[in-house]
Amino acid sequence: MFCKPFWTSILLFACNWVHTQAEPIRVLDVDFPDPCLIQADDQYCAFATNGNGVNIQVASSADFISWQLLAGHDALPGPFPSWVGSSPAVWAPDVIQRGDGKFVMYFAATAAADTSKHCVGVAISASVTGPYIPESQPLACPLQQGGAIDPDGFYDQGTFHVVYKSDGNSLDGDGTLHPTPLMLQALESDAITPIGSPIQLLDRSNTDGPLIEAPSLAKHSGIYYLTFSSNMYDTTLYDVSYAVASNLAGPYTKVQAPNAPLLVSGNGSDVGPLSGPGGSDFSVDGTKIVFHAFENGQNIDNGRAMYVSRAQLSQGVIHLARETYTGRHSYSKL
């Protein structure tokens, strides 16, 4: 049920070192964009957008500090159902665990009905690392609104939910900036079947550029925290900001300076200034966050590396750890 069994086929390269680092910390020096985080038993697992030859990438860690890429392992190998296009282009997964022990993956894939757009699908596995088997129908597929991407599962007060982006900027070729609302869909206990219609939590404003996307929800002391990214993912304007509410359904208020944005280009990390940070995801308890930033520290040419940080949610404000600590990095390959 966790990542550890795969370690028997992993060779650790001689690039491990122990040193003192500042947070956030770059933990994977490979293209690993839009990471999500789940803790299963005594392991952390992260999943990412397609890359390095697979549809859904997987990495694992015993301590949240030292991460191993399960190179060549595809958590969502297919075959895909008929609603998915012939080139799935799978993006931004998220994984949760149900009460029956099974794992549910939300993902975005190209829509067969319009391959210029994505829809949100669901897949199930008995193991956190997969393989995940996709359901026959999409969970959200609003093609007239631009499709749907960036799903994030959330469990609150006995009900599963998924929050996702209505991908309106996929329609921007007509010369108009379209809405890119973050939508919340309640789900049955199977974490698959929708209950009613989705509701809108938040939308872009002029200060967000052409879009908001990559939502992630966390809750602490009765306050809901909704992180999101704004501006374009392939620019240094990409960031992580957040909004707060006293009810899951909102209304959400965007947090302003000096407490937001949470992450922007130029913020420090263990390897120097961040560039293009975004695509964040919380741990279930809100004490940890993962995100990506440009691997080369300048632009997207070399992909987006995964970073981690400890977090504290307090009275409507998110604080990221800035302390230093002693840790170990390692890179692995099958």
Task: Please provide the DSSP assignment of 133-179 as one string.
Answer: EE-SS-SB--GGGT-EEEEEEEEETTEEEEEEEE-GGGGGGGS----
User: Domain for residue 3, yes or no?
Assistant: no
pLDDT at residue 21, rounded to an integer:
54
| Entry field: residues in the chain | 334
Q: Which two tokens stand for residue 46?
A: 């992260």
Please identify which residue in the block is written with the tokens 């099974």.
102
User: Domain for residue 6, yes or no?
Assistant: no
User: Domain for residue 4, yes or no?
Assistant: no
Contact, 231 vs 246, CB < 8 A? no
Q: Which of 23, 31, 34, 94 is catalytic?
A: 34
Q: Which two tokens stand for residue 120?
A: 């949100």
User: Domain for residue 63, yes or no?
Assistant: yes
pLDDT at residue 323, rounded to an integer:
52
Q: Can you give the residue range of the structural domain that contains 301?
A: 26-329
Active site residue 74: no
CATH at 159: 2.115.10.20
Q: Which two tokens stand for residue 235?
A: 């620019």
User: Domain for residue 215, yes or no?
Assistant: yes
pLDDT at residue 164, rounded to an integer:
99
Per run of 10 residues, the mean pLDDT along the chain (length 334 residues) is: 38 39 89 98 95 98 97 98 98 98 98 98 98 98 98 98 98 90 98 98 95 98 98 98 98 97 96 97 96 97 97 96 51 32
Q: Which of 23, 152, 213, 239 is catalytic?
A: 213
pLDDT at residue 327, rounded to an integer:
45
Active site residue 34: yes
Q: What is the pTM of this model?
A: 0.90
DSSP letters for 273-313? ---S-EEEEE-TTSSEEEEEEETTSS-GGG-EEEEEEEEEE
pLDDT at residue 19, rounded to an integer:
40
Q: Which of 208, 204, 224, 212 is nearest to 318 (CA)?
A: 224
Domain count, the chain: 1
Q: Which of 248, 244, 252, 256 is nearest to 315 (CA)?
A: 244
Quick one: the chain helix, strand, coil %, rounded to 5? 5, 45, 45
User: Domain for residue 164, yes or no?
Assistant: yes
pLDDT at residue 247, rounded to an integer:
98
Q: How many helices (H) and strands (E) does the chain have?
A: 0, 25
The C-alpha atoms of residue 243 and residue 252 are separated, in whole angstroms, by 6
CB hemisphere CA count around 73 (13 angstroms)? 26
**Burial of 74: CB neighbours in 10 Å, binned 0-12, 13-18, 19+:** buried
- What CA–CA distances, in Å, run from 99 to 104, 223, 281, 296? 11, 24, 21, 41
